[in-house]
Structure 1
Amino acid sequence: MPHASFDGLRVLSLESRRAREVEKLIRTYNGEAIVVPSMREISLTSNTVALEFGRRLLAGEFDAIVFMTGVGVAKLVETLSSTFDKESILAELRKREIIARGVKPLQVLRELNVSAAVTTAEPSTWREVVAQMEKKYGERLSAMSVAVQEYGATNPELIAELVARCDEVMKVPLYQWGLPLDIAPLQQTVRDLIDGNIDVVLFMTAVQVIHLFQVATEMGVATELRSALNATAVISVGPTTTEEILHYGFKPDFEPSRPRMGFMINEAAQYSGKVLAAKRSRVPEDEVSSLLDVPRPNLPAESAPLAVQHTHAVPQVAYSTPTMAGFRDGLAPLDVLEQVSSSLTSSDPLHVVLSRIVACVCAIVPCDSCFIYTLEEDKLVLRASRNPHVGDIDQFRIAVGQGVTGWVAEHREPVAISERASDDPRFAAFMQIPEDTFEAMLCVPVLCAGGVVGVLNLQHRKPYHHTELERRLLATIGVLVGAEIERARLETVNLQLTDRLESRKVIDRAKGLLQRDLKISEDEAYRMMQKESRQRRRSMREVAEAILLSESMRNPRASAT
């Protein structure tokens, strides 16, 4: 199977936060990496707007809240907690209609125990946000008051569409993107592009486009930069970035099959050489597009209820192309294990850790789907997923022995199916999991102390042969993840035991008060509390706490001592 390769092309990335990772991937695919940070996060000097949002939220003034980024969710809660009671803020959020743009804000919301009523699938642009809101709420939108957590800069199209549909829209900015403190590298990058010293440009966010042209404009060479980019292979990560590129008067050559860094670099390595050669030979645009593997216009569905449609046909390469096997070299095995280990040793909650493991696994094997299940009693519970499965996380269960995943848990052996997975005698389809229609599958047991504690499941839309290295790496990750899952389980058991002990103490104190005040036996006091618990549908601890509260109000001095 051939591997993707840049064949020595000079590849520019303007990535800031993941610069080291991008550089490593470009070099892995035999490209000359030129990574120049183009942006930095700037905290807002005033939290006035966010605090006003918090005040109104506590007053019950919003019907729905749109969260655009995971970082934004965390920053908003952190900002509000500096002035208001955190639990009160979270309690109010749980009462609202929450809209999550993709899986990242969804993961953070889940850790805060805040459920999302609406979430979007890839590519998770503002168009998907509006479309899903219309689908969910319909005419109710016209009477709704909506707050939008912004990221970096205002999205005028999103705000305009919401203003046209909703009764009120409030923007809640938390941070913004600024140019790097030292813009000399960006200025040199503009010169290199104009001089033809760069062959491929990877735009991973709209802000990268904006900042590159901001610097070029200040240098007085924006027109020359635009002409240079028209003679360069330009790849856009997705529709939002594409719209910004089109705004500056040039057009990306294609978008990756998935709006993810790994897919983008792999597919850029596959096609950039052909596209660049055609463009420099002045081949017509439609012929350049034909060089891609199954070109598809990146247009929204005809049924999409948006007033503004994406009118430029930007080719998007096909899913799971054969040369995606090059992905396995994206990160060396030791780098993979280092990433997994750093995730496991963090103090983050289990769901966050498992989500990071899913992302890491997807960097090793170019899968279209990845699930992590944990074994609880005789059921496998879905705990993490690459694709949005809002209602299924923590809810969807598979019996041990059921389907390929259940078979792996029962027999503690990995299963690799390269094609026609549904023909395997162990296969069982689940309506909640549409990925079960995919062609190839790799399942490995998640182990701890010789026992199974879960299953790691990868699936592919098209046939895929899993190498021995991939299987061994996944098996190793399964062991590492198993230790973390077992630690989390023991921590939960410990918390439960602690809670039971505290409950027993409270119940015993309440029994003592009843015995003293009513002159009854310990057994009679317990039965009285038990009867009250059943009648009021309250736990024994809640009944006991009510008795202690009553005593403290009657005799505050005695309670204090």
Structure 2
Amino acid sequence: MPASPPPRSRTRSAPPLAGYTVAVTAARRAEELGALLERRGAAVVHGPALRIAPLADDEELRDATGQLLARPPDVAVATTGIGFRGWMEAADGWGEGEALRGVLAASELLARGPKACGALRAAGLREAWSPASESSSEVLERLLARGDLAGLRIAVQLHGEPLRDFLDALRGAGAEVVPVPVYRWTGPLDPGPLDRLLDAVLSGGVDALTFTSALAAAGLYARAEERGAADDLTRVLRGRTQVACVGPVTAAPLLARDIPAYWPERFRVGALVRLLGERLPATAPVLPAAGHTMEVRGTAVLLDGELRPVSPGPMAVLRVLARRPGAVVSCADLLGCLPGGGTDEHAVEAAVARLRGALGVPSVVQTVTKRGYRIALDPAAACGS
């Protein structure tokens, strides 16, 4: 859900996303999103959850275009910028672009969001209205608010899915609907990158999972279900891994699964990255320990402002200790958090040794003989805890 920006991390010397791993499920604009995340220090895992597939042939699109040229629509709905531009390019290729733009200019043009508005204007057209929510449901509400739509001819540019509920609601109100299919969304040709992303999420190796479309969320869950891992995915996404979406429409299928998700006030990729740069560090424990300030991030620790990478086993131990700052945690409890499990408590000793080595300040983690380990919380902080 949208929220006021949380307080920034108390350490400023490292990029805001340094020490965090962020997964990108986008197909389009994935490079842009990944570059923005990396610029802020994140390690990026990319696995497209879907792909844009052109229609097997353009006969469906050409047929819909011909219907509209023969009998112009009263209302035309543009749902995506990429889809509308593709439609115009196809019409130009058939030598019908000018005629189509003339027909659309004479209709009432509704655009689902700014990208669709931009595509309309690039074609020399002007939208009559566009919802602030950028949602198809608000477009539908506006059309249905007219009451009886009998005799109204409405063209709807589809955006990779059939929009059956949208079209059926218009038809149920009496409208004559002409769907305009431009492309379809389908699963990735190579599921390998998506499987690797899913494995990283399920193993706890991802701090935040990003979505730029609701279909990507559906695609990720479809793959998880094929692998019998949907319940495990839900459990992880209800836990430590944050879910960041570009907007509420994108978040809807995740919220329906009771998965917490948030999004920026402006539904843009840049705003999404900025919000991640605020939300992830805000959840990091910041502990004064052994005269040092330690911020525990996803795969690293900021120790006095210096980023110290920590491998998964030692980091798992540190997270448990950081959840109970100053308290002694037994070797048995720490053993349960180590990747791969096991029964030999010497594995805990080895993990603690590696943790101390990674931090470069062994005194931050204290050994309490025959009891376990604890963070060497500074006395003033310990008194207040």
Alignment of 1:220 with 2:228, yes or no, is yes
Question: Which of these residues, 99, 114, 119, is aligned with residue 108 of structure 1?
Answer: 119
The SS at the match of 2:76 is strand
Correspondent of 2:135 among 94, 105, 125: 125
Distance in 1 (alpha carbons) for counterparts of 2:174 and 2:59: 23
Residue 241 of structure 1 is matched in structure 2 by 250
Q: Deviations over 1:39-71 (max 9, x none)?
A: 322110132332222222122252111111122
SS at match of 2:155: strand
Shift of 1:205: 0.9
Match of 2:48 in 1: 37
Letter of the aligned partner of 1:257 in structure 2? E
Supply the distance in 1 between the matched residues of 2:113 and 2:105 (Cα, whole angstroms). 18
Query: Residue 192 of structure 1 corresponds to which residue in structure 2?
Result: 200
The match for 1:22 among 33, 42, 54 is: 33
C-alpha separation in 2, matches of 1:120 and 1:114: 17
Q: Does the C-alpha gap of structure 1 residues 77 and 197 become closer, same or farther in structure 2, counting only changes over 3 Å?
A: same
CA contact (8 A) 1:62 1:146 kept: yes
User: Matched residue of 2:149: which SS?
Assistant: helix
| Contact persistence 1:194–1:228 (CA under 8 A) | yes
Distance 1:134 1:117, change over 3 A: farther
RMSD: 2.5
Provide closer, same or farther for how the CA distance between residues 142 and 276 of structure 1 changes in structure 2, counting only shifts above 3 A: farther
Matches within 5 A, 1:147-546: 147-231=155-239, 232-247=241-256, 249-274=257-282
Q: Secondary structure at the match of 1:244?
A: helix
Per-residue deviation, 1:32: 2.3
Contact 1:229 1:250 in 2 (8 A): no
Q: Deviations over 1:92-114 (max 9, x none)?
A: 22221211122222222223222
Unaligned runs of 5+ in 1: 278-561
1:95-144 C-alpha deviation (Å, 9 max, x unpaired): 212111222222222232223222232x3111232244456xx2363431
SS at match of 2:60: helix
- The structural deviation recorded for 1:242 is 1.5
CA distance in 1, matches of 2:179, 2:150: 17
User: Is the 8 Å Cα contact of residues 40 and 179 (structure 1) preserved in structure 2?
Assistant: yes
Q: How big is the shift at 1:18? A: 2.3
* Counterpart in the other structure of 1:408: none
Match of 1:59 in 2: 70
Corresponding residue SS for 1:12: strand
Note the alpha carbon deviations across 1:405-459, whole angstroms, 9 max, x for none.
xxxxxxxxxxxxxxxxxxxxxxxxxxxxxxxxxxxxxxxxxxxxxxxxxxxxxxx
Matched-pair contact (CA < 8 Å) for 2:72–2:103? no
Is the CA contact 1:65–1:99 (under 8 Å) kept in the aligned structure 2? yes
Q: CA deviation at 1:274?
A: 4.1
Corresponding residue for residue 344 of structure 2: none
Aligned position for 1:141: 149
Deviation at 1:7, TM superposition (A): 4.8
Answer yes or no: is 1:93 the counterpart of 2:104: yes
Contact 2:251-2:261 at 8 Å conserved across structures: no
Aligned residues: 273
Q: In the TM superposition, what is the alpha-carbon distance from 1:229 to its structure 2 partner?
A: 1.3
CA deviation profile, 1:276-326 (whole Å, cap 9, x unmatched): 87xxxxxxxxxxxxxxxxxxxxxxxxxxxxxxxxxxxxxxxxxxxxxxxxx
Conserved? CA contact 2:46–2:197, under 8 Å: no
Name whichever structure is richer in helix by fraction.
1
Counterpart amino acid of residue 183 in structure 2:
Y
Normalized against structure 1, the TM-score is what? 0.45
One-letter amino acid of the counterpart of residue 174, structure 1 = V
**Conservation of the 8 A alpha-carbon contact between 1:153 and 1:176:** yes
Larger RCO (CA under 8 A, 6+ residues apart): 2
**Cα separation, 1, equivalents of 2:284 and 2:74:** 50
What are the superposed Cα offsets for residues 186-230 of structure 1, whole Å, 9 maximum, x if unpaired?
112212211111111111111211221121122121111111111
Mapped partners of 1:95, 1:102: distance in 2: 20
Instruction: Name the structure 2 match of 1:288.
Output: none
Tell me how far apart the structure 2 counterparts of residues 125 and 74 of structure 1 sit (CA, whole Å).
19
Equivalent-residue separation in structure 1 for 2:109 and 2:21 (angstroms): 43
Q: Deviations over 1:217-271 (max 9, x none)?
A: 2212111111111112111221211112234x23233221211111111112211
Secondary structure class of the residue paired with 1:93: helix
Name the aligned partner's letter for residue 128 of structure 1: E
AA partner of residue 100 (structure 2): I
**Given residue 226 of structure 1, which amino acid in structure 2 is its aligned partner?**
T
**2:58 matches 1:47:** yes
